Amino acid sequence: MSMIWVYLETSGGSLTKGSLEALGEARRLADAAGGSVCGLLIGADLGNPATQAGHFGADKVVTVEDAAFADFNLEVHTRLAVKALGGGEAMLVLMSVSTHTRELAARLAANLGVGLAVDCIGLEREGDELVFKRPLYGGKVYQEVTLAGAPGIALLRPNNFEAAPEDTGRAAEVTPLGETVDAGDLKLAVKEAVAAAVGKVSLTEATVIVSGGRGMKGPEHFNLVEDLAATLGAAVGASRAAVDAGWREHPEQVGQTGKTVSPVLYIACGISGAIQHLAGMSSSRFIVAINKDPDAPIFKLADYGIVGDLFEVLPLLNEEFKQALA
Ligand SMILES: Cc1cc2nc3c(=O)[nH]c(=O)nc-3n(C[C@H](O)[C@H](O)[C@H](O)COP(=O)(O)OP(=O)(O)OC[C@H]3O[C@@H](n4cnc5c(N)ncnc54)[C@H](O)[C@@H]3O)c2cc1C
């Protein structure tokens, strides 16, 4: 096997958790088949992320460091990634699913004329082939796909792959790509990127999510969800009903028209389990539902169900977790 590339994203000057997981999976594949791992970093202040990439499994990191590219620009990143990956040595490109990589991967696959597997939750080698497992129809069925053309591109869902253990004695060879994009030549300019005022833990990368729905009865009761989330170090999510009612912001919405999440633990509070909500969270490893209606559809999917009034259950649960984690 030749080189496996990993498109690396940063947040606050460090690699994102999803990028570390993609690196870990690339390392595992490369070790099994005698290949190497190369990270691609585009942006500003790449010193720390490049070092981190070495610690977490990259043999090489190719960088395009330019203050003008500090904010993600689809056109810039596509053009640079095509230049980096078009040389013929890449066999596979892994990326963690994010708003940016969903767009980038699709453009890249079209530009390179190669296959793309989105939302992968598993990846196995069968003979000479790599087989990617991905959920369809809100997790009702799973599809296994192989990719034609090199480099095949796969988007990995966060929390389904393991990052390699950090090894601070490991260093990657860092090489500038040696190519850039002329800003005057761009059809799309990013004037400003404003971070949404949402919780500290990123919803798509969170290991634990506590979500509230219409059963919360109003924005003033979401402190119950927030308190439990704070105890568990979790992100806060919401159903569309809660968002449409103006109780929560859209970046917190989970589901078909919101975010797709894949945490280890998803706690749904006062959420009925409509198919459009399940589409965004059904691949969570463990699902806990709190609902006063024993026939609520969410219980069909939940691993653990609490039939009860969330206004009684949530404070009790929070106290129990606080004691257990103290
Ligand atoms: C095209 C389209 C896209 C959509 N996209 C999304 C999406 O991305 N995300 C999404 O979530 N929805 C989406 N929806 C909406 C979806 O169909 C549902 O309407 C929505 O998910 C319902 O939200 P909910 O479960 O919070 O509310 P409800 O369905 O009203 O459920 C509220 C639940 O709270 C329970 N409850 C009430 N009081 C209590 C209490 N005191 N204690 C415990 N439980 C209580 C009730 O028993 C009930 O089960 C979409 C719909 C369409 C048509």
Domains and CATH numbers, the chain: 3-185 (3.40.50.620), 208-325 (3.40.50.1220)
pLDDT score recorded for residue 100: 94
Cα angle at 248 between 244 and 251, to 5 degrees? 90
For ligand 1, whether the C-beta of 296 sits within 6 Å is yes
Taking the centre of ligand 1 as the mean of its atom positions, its distance from the CA of residue 209, in whole angstroms, is: 16
Average pLDDT value for the chain: 93
Band (pLDDT 50/70/90 cuts) for residue 200 is low
Q: To test ligand 1's pocket by mutation, which of 221, 224, 257, 310 has the most ligand atoms within 8 angstroms of CB? A: 257
pLDDT exceeds 80 at position 16: yes
**Which residue's C-alpha comes closest to atom 26 of ligand 1?**
213
pLDDT exceeds 60 at position 199: no
Q: Which residues pair with 65 in a beta bridge?
A: 43
DSSP E strands, 103-207:
116-120, 122-126, 129-136, 141-145, 152-156, 173-176
pLDDT exceeds 60 at position 198: no
Question: Alpha-carbon distance 284 to 266, whole Å?
Answer: 6
For ligand 1, whether the C-beta of 265 sits within 6 Å is no
* Token duo for residue 30: 């490369």
Average pLDDT over residues 226-248: 97
Q: What percent of the chain has pLDDT over 90?
A: 79
pLDDT score recorded for residue 33: 87
Band (pLDDT 50/70/90 cuts) for residue 1 is low
* Of the candidates 119, 45, 44, the residue with the CA atom closest to the CA atom of residue 282: 119
